[in-house]
Structure 1
Amino acid sequence: SSGQPVVLVRHDSKKQGSPLAPGQSGNDLKSGIDGPHDLFVTKTVNSAFYGTPDLDAWLKQEDINAITICGIMTNFCCETTARMGGNLGYDVTFVLDATATFDKTDMDGEVIPADQIARTTAANLNGEFATVRSTAAVLGS
Structure 2
Amino acid sequence: MVVDKDPVALLVIDMQQGMSGMASGERNNPSAESNIENLLAAWRRNRLPIIHIRHISRTPESPFWPGQPGVEFQLHFLPLAGEHIVEKNVPDAFVCSGLERWLHVRDIRQIVIVGVSTNNSIEATARTAGCLGFKVHVVEDGTFAFPKRDFSGVQRSASEVHAMSLANLDGEYASILSAAQALKMF
The TM-score, its normalising length taken from structure 2, stands at 0.70
Shift of 1:94: 0.4
Which structure 1 residue ranges, 5 or more long, are not aligned? none
Aligned with 2:77: secondary structure?
Answer: coil
Q: Distance in 1 between matches of 2:177 and 2:96?
A: 25
CA RMSD of aligned residues (A): 1.5
Task: Pick the aligned partner of 2:180 from 122, 128, 136.
Answer: 136
Cross-structure match for 1:111 = 155
Cross-structure match for 1:39 = 84
Q: Distance in 1 between matches of 2:129 and 2:151?
A: 29
Conserved 8 A contact 1:41-1:51:
no
Query: Which residue identity is paired with 1:43?
Result: K
- How is 1:1-141 mapped onto 2 (pairs within 5 angstroms)? 1-36=45-80, 37-52=82-97, 54-140=98-184
Question: Higher RCO, 1 or 2 (CA under 8 Å, sep at least 6)?
Answer: 2
Query: Which residue identity is paired with 1:132?
Result: I
Query: Structure 1 residues 120 and 29 mapped into 2: Cα distance closer, same or farther (>3 Å)?
Result: same
The TM-score, its normalising length taken from structure 1, stands at 0.91
Conserved 8 A contact 1:42-1:51:
no
Query: Which residue identity is paired with 2:93?
Result: A
Name the % identity: 36
Q: Distance in 2 between matches of 1:131 and 1:64?
A: 17
Query: Which residue identity is paired with 1:70?
Result: V
Q: Distance in 2 between matches of 1:107 and 1:120?
A: 13
Q: Distance in 2 between matches of 1:63 and 1:118?
A: 31
Query: Structure 1 residues 98 and 80 mapped into 2: Cα distance closer, same or farther (>3 Å)?
Result: same
Q: Distance in 2 between matches of 1:25 and 1:100?
A: 21
User: Which region of structure 1 is more displaced relative to structure 2, 107-116 or 89-98?
Assistant: 107-116
Q: Distance in 2 between matches of 1:16 and 1:112?
A: 29
Number of aligned positions between the proteins:
139
Query: Which residue identity is paired with 1:48?
Result: A
Cross-structure match for 2:19 = none
Q: Distance in 1 between matches of 2:62 and 2:151?
A: 21
Which structure 2 residue ranges, 5 or more long, are not aligned? 1-44
Shift of 1:4: 1.1
Q: Distance in 2 between matches of 1:67 and 1:94?
A: 9
